[in-house]
Amino acid sequence: MGSNNGKVPSKKPPAGDVQAFLDKVAATPVNKAPGRRGRLLFALDATASREPTWDRASHIQAEMFSETAALGGLEVQLAFYRGFGEFKASPWTTQSDDLLKRMTSVFCLAGETQIGKVLQHAVNEHKKEKINALVFVGDCVEEDVDKLGVIAGELGILGVPVFIFHEGDDPIAEFAFKQIAKLTNGACCRFDSSSAHVLKDLLSAVAVFAAGGRPALEDMAKKRGGEVLKLVHQVKGK
């Protein structure tokens, strides 16, 4: 793993993480051509440690589509890694049922993280057709952070923000995830098994952002309230 001089950033309270994450989403420019669907790459760690929360994530992602339907919809690709070097990506789809079937057919399998493959895949897909954002859900990092930073830096240059949902409280993973988010002009937020509703709101916020930009996010806040509404109040107050 890359050196960080033996220092790891201190943790913020979950509520602070949520507000900072939403603030970053709202401030990120959307590179989407008028009349085109937003494109979101949704990547997950499907190794054994994530098995307890896999089903919940499967159902939450389906709601991203309903949140963006009125904005012209969202095109999503599912990618995941597990086991011994296994990495798979689905075709791009606009159908929530199709993606949900794919996710519920996957079972978690012990193995090391392959975040580098996720980031490189995003680079390759973006070069074929523009991606508005990459969402990654994971709980640990077992790769060299400096090497991940090189690929993340390329995504930053290409204008693909990475929004990371960090499950649990592994300090090494937190450091690596925040580095990736910073290099791509994205954001990182920590959640745990008791905050499924927070994950739902945050995923929906990123999806709405990818599909319609900041105006759509503000409109969502008026309807949803909660943390998303706090975000808009913060942004307008700056």
pLDDT-wise least confident of 6-10, 50-54, 77-81, 184-188: 6-10
Q: Cα(25)–Cα(185) distance, rounded to whole angstroms?
A: 10
In terms of C-beta distances under 8 Å and separation of at least 24 residues, what long-range contacts does 150-156 make, across chains too? 151/116, 151/119, 151/120, 151/123, 152/119, 152/179, 152/180, 152/183, 152/184, 153/183, 153/184, 154/123, 155/119, 155/122, 155/123, 155/126, 155/183, 155/184, 156/183, 156/184, 156/185
Question: Where are the chain's structural domains?
Answer: 37-212
State residue 52 phi and psi, 5-degree precision. Answer: -60, -30
C-alpha 140/C-alpha 138 separation (Å) is 6
pTM of the model: 0.74
pLDDT in tens, 3-15: 444 444 444 445 5
Q: Which of 69-73, 133-137, 197-201, 225-229 has the highest mean pLDDT?
A: 133-137
- What pLDDT band is residue 174 in, cutting at 50, 70 and 90? very high
77: part of which helix (H) or strand (E)?
A: strand 74-82
Percent above pLDDT 70 for the chain: 59
Arithmetic mean of pLDDT, 8-30:
51
CATH of domain 37-212: 3.40.50.410
Separation of alpha carbons 161 and 122, rounded Å? 10
Which of 102-106, 150-154, 178-182 has the least mean pLDDT?
102-106
